[in-house]
Amino acid sequence: MSEAKRLATPVAPGGRIGILGGGQLGRMLALAAARLGLKTHIYSDERDAPAFQVAAEHTHGAYNDEAALAKFAAACDAITFEFENIPETAVSFLAARKPVNPNARALAPTQDRFAEKSLAISLGLKTAPFFAVNSADDAAEAFARLGRHGVMKTRRFGYDGKGQAKVASAEDASRAFLAFKYAPSILEGFVDFAFEASVIAARAGDGTFAAYDPPENFHEHHILRRSTVPGRLSAAQIDEAKSIAKKIGDALDYIGVFCVELFVTKSGELLVNEIAPRVHNSGHWTLEACLTSQFEQHIRAVAGWPLGSTKRHSDAVMENIIGEEAADWRTLAATGGALHLYGKSEIRPGRKMGHITWLKSG
């Protein structure tokens, strides 16, 4: 792997930020970059990617098309991405040409559930109990060691509940591993949490760190339904959540915005569930409740700008608009909340079509 490029000077207004991925996160990143006077170039393998509609330039290409990637890199001053499941080869290829952040080294541990949880443990953080599963025998043995029901998860490429199976017996565990087609997996002990939360944080190239107040999150069918800030976290838990994020950001020498999903147990412990190396659905409320949104914050970090304020001026509730719910856009437009629709041409079950944020005070 050739040396990764580092950003020597900030990308000045008029400069070009490349974004891999053209879904709603790429779209909201592009909108935030525009506000700062930066141009965006979206690269997506989707022909009609929503982010294309708001970017100065776009490339429709495969993530292994080196000619297209090289042309894209040449047209950008700094590059980032909207989702973590980009082929590492694409990231390395681009990083040899232009600064890519978060960089491949920071990205790797977050792309593998085992590495991710091992990192948390190595930093003195807590997680649910977990065991590596690389064979059907491992699966049965892991279940025996766990001694209670749990969740089998593939180590890589899972999102919104994909690549997950509940297991209540050693046989379940082995069966799940077969169903995952022998993909390296983990067995995780089921956590009877009080509620879920997350902390969205940013780290700049100079190590500056800033975290938003952690929202409480409510999932339905493995998809985020609602984030509420403030949630039920105590002041001490809010501080602890931010400190967890800081430890992880520093350990990864991370540049950009990331999210740490947390389980808050009934005894008040914060367990690290997942690390998402990107802007996150549970941070969408920052668009309305903070002067610097998570999207702008990420652009600032990857463009080498100073981080913005993460101060929250209002309480907020963010709710996702999923699948068919988007068909009722006239009603959604009249709720008094801030409506965001993602420009997706097709409504599909479970697809995130938009979100609404209401401010509760301020």
Q: How far is the CB of 100 from its own copies (least distance, A)?
A: 22
Which residue lies nearer to its own copies by CB, 223 or 341? 341
Q: How far is the CB of 295 from its own copies (least distance, A)?
A: 12
Q: Do the beta carbons of residue 360 and residue 316 sit within 8 Å?
A: yes
Which residue lies nearer to its own copies by CB, 282 or 293? 293
Q: What whole-number distance in Å separates Cα of residue 307 and Cα of residue 159?
A: 28
Q: How far is the CB of 146 from its own copies (least distance, A)?
A: 45
Q: How far is the CB of 110 from its own copies (least distance, A)?
A: 28
Report the Cα 305 to chain-centroid distance in Å: 21
Q: What whole-number distance in Å separates Cα of residue 86 and Cα of residue 107?
A: 10
Angle between helical axes of 66-74 and 88-95 (0-180°, round to 10) = 40
Which residue lies nearer to its own copies by CB, 265 or 314? 314
- Identify the CA nearest to 26 among candidates 91, 79, 89: 79
Site of interaction with its own copies (CB under 8 A): 10, 12-14, 27, 30-31, 34-37, 39, 52-56, 288, 291-292, 300, 305-306, 308-309, 313-314, 326, 329-330, 333-334, 336-343, 345, 354, 357-359, 362
Q: What whole-number distance in Å separates Cα of residue 152 and Cα of residue 188?
A: 6
* Residue that is written with structure tokens 């540049």 in the block: 255
Q: How far is the CB of 231 from its own copies (least distance, A)?
A: 19
Give phi and psi for 238, each to the nearest 5: -60, -45
The bridge status of strand 352-359 relative to strand 316-322 is antiparallel
Q: How far is the CB of 35 from its own copies (least distance, A)?
A: 5
Sign, Cα dihedral of 252, 255, 259, 264 = positive
